[in-house]
Amino acid sequence: DIQMTQSPSSLSASVGDRVTITCRASQGIRSDLGWFQHKPGKAPKRLIYAASTLQSGVPSRFSGSGSGTEFTLTIGSLQPEDFATYYCLQHNSYPFTFGGGTKVEIK
Amino acid sequence: EVQLVESGGALVQPGGSLRLSCSASGFIFSSYWMSWVRQAPGKGLEWVANTNQDGSVKYYVDSVKGRFTISRENAKNSLYLQINSLRAEDTAVYYCAIGGHIDYCGQGTPVTVSS
């Protein structure tokens, strides 16, 4: 199985900060990766697909980059509604696997 | 408007069975792969299973193989997850999702396995 190592597991940031989250795959997965935002009691929401393509309706402050084994999600200017847990998901090979998550909290 | 509404979650004893349902609307259900994802209490998201447009291809995470069965009824715009031999570690909120790569998720249905 492909392991997705996500870092950091949590971070504290202020409104307006630039935030970067990283996922590393245990083997190359091309660009077969998505990024998700999950808030308690809500449905997980995909933000980015194919590693760098913004999902329709998602604010442009979210961006993704990377291919192969290293991927990054960047929030350009953190907004109050962005405090949540973020996950990467590889869909290059079965079983698909999520990263462990990054909880973004208010500083 | 795209909608996915899960149902069927319950409190079940270990070893029991449950059938989760997902009612879809707002898109052409028969044209999409469909998936199930879950989140155990205090844990991260876990991909569970997916199936192709006509239900002839199915994939599962190893921990549920032989116990869970994903299926669909395109005439009813519905996705199902039959869960047998339930274990405490199956306790989670189960989300239905459009697409093989989790394009869009429903609100989830909770399953609790406890005696």
**Which tens digit of pLDDT belongs to each residue from A36-65?**
999 999 999 999 999 999 999 999 999 999
Q: What percent of chain A has pLDDT over 90?
A: 98
Which of the residues B43, B45, B52, B63 would you substitute to probe the A interface, choosing the one with the greatest number of A C-beta atoms within 10 Å?
B45
* Number of Cβ within a 10 Å radius of residue B76: 12
Measured between alpha carbons, how far is residue A4 from residues A11, A66, B90, B115 in Å?
18, 14, 22, 34
The answer to whether residues B32 and B22 touch, using CB atoms and an 8 Å cutoff, is no
Q: Say how far apart CA B114 and CA B22 lie, in whole Å.
A: 23
Q: Say how far apart CA A104 and CA A62 lie, in whole Å.
A: 14
pLDDT recorded at residue A106: 86
Q: Which residue in B has a C-alpha nearest to residue A33's C-alpha?
A: B101
Shortest Cα distance, chain B CAs vs residue A18, angstroms: 24
**Which tens digit of pLDDT belongs to each residue from A91-107?**
999 999 999 999 999 88
φ, ψ at B89 (rounded to 5°): -70, -5
SS (H, E, C) A9-65: CEEEECCCCCEEEEEEECCCCCCCEEEEEECCCCCCEEEEECCCEECCCCCCCEEEE
Q: What percent of chain B has pLDDT over 90?
A: 99
Q: Which of A43, A97, A99 sits opposite B108 (nearest CB)?
A: A43
Q: Which of B61, B95, B104 sits opposite A95 (nearest CB)?
A: B61
Which of the residues B22, B35, B47 would you substitute to probe the A interface, choosing the one with the greatest number of A C-beta atoms within 10 Å?
B47
pLDDT recorded at residue B48: 98
